[in-house]
Structure 1
Amino acid sequence: MILVKDELKRSIERIQNKLDAHGVILSELERGATDHSTRITELEANVGSLTTRVTYLDNRCEDLEGRMRRNNIRLLGIPEGVEGPRPTESVAGLLQELLGLDEKPLLDRAHRTLRSRPREGEPPRPFVIRVHFFHVRNDMLKRSGDASPLLYKGRRVSIFPDYTTAVAKKRANFGDVKRQLRACPGVKYGLIYPAVLRLTLPDSSTHRFEDPAVAADFIKNRVKKAVMPPPGL
């Protein structure tokens, strides 16, 4: 009996030792989990702060790039090579001819977009043109719209503002909305930079939209019902 008791006692002691060791391990795991949870919370806060900062800087860069392009226009459809060795001077004369200007506009520079020269049958690269005076740039854009379509040696060409890729995409999202507005008599509209749709209804009330979907819903439920005649009339 004594031997059995001694053996049981040793077995219990071994089990107790293992339990004590496991208890130490669990305590260390709990401390580690708490430490990791604290660090993860700190990292999440840091990531959130950095994300906010990056978004702010990205918006600032977008704004600065847009401001740098305020005097720029793009000229599309001019065949490759017509600009010769002095593109800025050639493009100034070309713009004078296309838009019927009294004199050549003062340009700071004019160059093709920086991509590979197109192969045979591919469309020519657009010109990026920086106009020295902002009011001259606006006048040229207005003239190009009034004189549309513009033709150069029988080829149709276009003049557009030079927007950043992000701004151009935002403005392009309003394309369907503008097509609907063209069929609404008495409604004046325009896109304010960077991409805000401004509507003026026949009653002189004005509305602004940054979301094309919201604008489309407004046109469907408010504008068309107000300005379009009922079916059958």
Structure 2
Amino acid sequence: MATARQKDLVKSKKNPSKVGEADASSLQEMMNAIRDDICGKIDLLSSELRSEIATVRAELGSSITPLQQKVDRHDDTIRELEHAASDQGDCINELEDLVQTLKKQVSQLNAKCEDLEGHSRRNNIRLVGIPEGVEGPNPTEFVSGLLHNVLKLDHKPIVDRAHCSLREKPKTGDPPRPFIIRIHYYQDRDRILRKAEELSPVVYQERRAWFFPDYTTAVAKKRAQFGEAKHLLRSIKEVKSRLVYPALLKITLPDRTLHKFEEPSAAEKFIKSINTRSPREGPFGLFT
């Protein structure tokens, strides 16, 4: 007995056009089924993706919100710091201007104090080399008599006060402290210094004594810097020099040309140039 499939084959052999239409219809149905299946899966995946994206977006939103708040707070803090830095910069500029002003004022006050101290010492003499303790209970009277006798003055100078320098009393064998002597009259003070220079070396109790003007520490240091220049000038007999207060070296050449120097290096350079002139030229620019 023939099966249905065999019958169909027999029919298809008898009518091939009908068989082609049946296959095409079957293929179309299969394609439609595949398309529906693919579309369904795509829709499912799209739905899942949308759900996951929404979840991620929600999570990101919940995470970004506190971060944004922190950023906003940091922005506010940075703005405050910028304003504070700007204010501090203005304050620093004002303080720098104030410091410069105060430095000028301090410099002026120091110069004024130095000048006042120098003037207060104009009548003073610093006497070095007198043995410690010989002045007795009345150093003022002792110094007045010492100046009169040692320097062979016409009269005893009026001494306002006299005392040893205020440093610690020296030990046995150490050099004695210098005497600080204030002469009542400035003319007597100059006369004493000139007389001491004329009688140099001055000796008291078989010890040499030195007489110096009583300069401030700053002035004494400035004057000491001209020591080399004064040493060079001693070898040139034709030149006259004088170191005037506070520290100005005046050099007078034989042709009466006056040169003034406030810097020791400039004075030394000038003095050395005097002895390095041409052999046909004198030491002061004059031909011999």
Q: State whether TM-score is above 0.5.
A: yes
TM-score (norm 1): 0.93
Match of 2:188 in 1: 136
Please say if 1:225 is aligned against 2:276: yes
Q: In the TM superposition, what are the counterparts of 1:1-233 in structure 2 within 5 Å? A: 1-221=53-273, 223-226=274-277, 228=283
Amino acid at match of 1:106: I
Amino acid at match of 1:186: E
- Deviations along 1:37-76, one digit per CA (max 9) or x if unpaired, are 1111011111111111111111111111110110110111
Amino acid at match of 1:32: A
CA distance, structure 1, for counterparts of residue 60 and residue 156 of structure 2:
108
**CA shift at 1:82, angstroms?**
1.7
Asked if the contact 1:184–1:228 (Cα under 8 Å) also holds between the matched residues in 2, the reply is no
Asked if the contact 1:185–1:228 (Cα under 8 Å) also holds between the matched residues in 2, the reply is no
**CA shift at 1:228, angstroms?**
4.5
Structure with more contact order per residue of length (Cα contacts < 8 Å, sep ≥ 6): 1
CA distance, structure 2, for counterparts of residue 215 and residue 141 of structure 1:
25
- Deviations along 1:153-180, one digit per CA (max 9) or x if unpaired, are 2211111101111111111111111101
Larger Rg: 2
3-state secondary structure, aligned to 2:275: helix
**CA shift at 1:107, angstroms?**
0.9
3-state secondary structure, aligned to 2:276: helix
CA distance, structure 2, for counterparts of residue 138 and residue 149 of structure 1:
18
- Deviations along 1:192-232, one digit per CA (max 9) or x if unpaired, are 101111111122111111111121222223x3335659xxx
3-state secondary structure, aligned to 1:225: coil
- Deviations along 1:124-173, one digit per CA (max 9) or x if unpaired, are 11111111111111011011111111111221111110111111111111
The structure in which a higher percent of residues are helix is 2
3-state secondary structure, aligned to 2:167: coil
Q: Which runs of 5+ in 2 are unaligned?
A: 1-52
CA distance, structure 1, for counterparts of residue 195 and residue 211 of structure 2:
10
Amino acid at match of 1:3: T
3-state secondary structure, aligned to 1:177: helix
CA distance, structure 1, for counterparts of residue 80 and residue 244 of structure 2:
61
CA distance, structure 2, for counterparts of residue 149 and residue 96 of structure 1:
16
Identity between Structure 1 and Structure 2 (%): 51
**CA shift at 1:11, angstroms?**
2.8
- Superposed CA RMSD: 1.5
Instruction: Identify which range, 12-21 or 136-145, moves more after superposition.
Output: 12-21
CA distance, structure 2, for counterparts of residue 76 and residue 4 of structure 1:
99
**CA shift at 1:12, angstroms?**
3.0
CA distance, structure 2, for counterparts of residue 12 and residue 118 of structure 1:
84
**CA shift at 1:9, angstroms?**
2.3
